[in-house]
Amino acid sequence: MPQFPVFKPVELDDRDVFQNLFRTYKVVTSELTFTNLFIWRLHYNYQWTMYKDWLVILCREGKDVLWAMEPVGPSPRADVTCMLLQWMRDEKGENNPRIERADERFAGEMEGVRDILVEPTRDHFDYVYLREDLIRLAGSNYRSKRNHINQLLRSYSFRYAPLGREHIGDCLELQEKWCKLRRCEDDLNLVGEWGAVREILRAYESLDVQGGVVLIENKVMAFTAGEMLNDETVVVHIEKADPDIPGLYPVINQQFCENNWENARYINREQDLGVPGMREAKLSYHPDHFVKKYRITLMEK
Residue-level pLDDT, tens digit, the chain, 301 residues: 999 999 999 999 999 999 999 999 999 999 999 999 999 999 999 999 999 999 999 999 877 789 999 999 999 999 999 999 999 999 999 999 999 999 999 999 999 999 999 999 999 999 999 999 999 999 999 999 999 999 999 999 999 999 999 999 999 999 999 888 878 787 777 788 889 999 999 999 999 999 999 999 999 999 999 999 999 999 999 999 999 999 999 999 999 999 999 999 999 999 999 999 999 999 999 999 999 999 999 987 6
Domain boundaries defined on the chain: 8-125+294-298, 126-270
Beta bridge partners of 289: 128
| CB-CB contact of 7 with 49 (8 Å) | yes
Render pLDDT for 124-139 as a digit per residue (tens, 0 to 9): 999 999 999 999 999 9
- Please name the residues in contact with 82: beta carbons below 8 A apart, sequence gap of 6 or more: 113, 115, 116, 298
| CB-CB contact of 213 with 161 (8 Å) | yes
Q: How far is CA 83 from CA 56, 249, 299, in A?
A: 12, 45, 13
| 3-class SS string, 14-72 | HHHHHHHHHHHHCCCCCCCCHHHHHHCHHHHCCEEEEECCEEEEEEEECCCEEEECCCE
Q: Based on the number of CB atoms within 10 Å of its own CB, is 286 exposed (0-12), middle (13-18) or buried (19 or more)?
A: middle
Range 126-270: architecture per CATH: 3-Layer(aba) Sandwich (3.40)
Domains 8-125+294-298 and 126-270 share a fold: yes
pLDDT at 301: 62
Closest C-alpha to 67, from 96, 110, 32, 102: 96
Instruction: List helix spans (H) across the chain.
Output: 15-25, 34-39, 41-44, 78-90, 104-110, 131-136, 143-155, 168-182, 188-202, 248-259, 276-283
Q: What is the pTM (predicted TM-score) of this model?
A: 0.95
Instruction: Report phi then psi at 194, rounded to 5.
Output: -55, -50
pLDDT at 180: 86
Closest C-alpha to 38, from 163, 236, 196: 196
Give the DSSP H/E element, type plus range, for residue 160.
Answer: strand 158-162
Separation between Cα atoms, residue 292 and residue 255, nearest integer Å: 27
Give the DSSP H/E element, type plus range, for residue 116.
Answer: strand 116-120
Render pLDDT for 264-278 as a digit per residue (tens, 0 to 9): 999 999 999 999 999
Beta bridge partners of 47: 9, 58
Provide the residue count of the chain: 301
| CB-CB contact of 193 with 178 (8 Å) | no
CATH class of 8-125+294-298: alpha beta
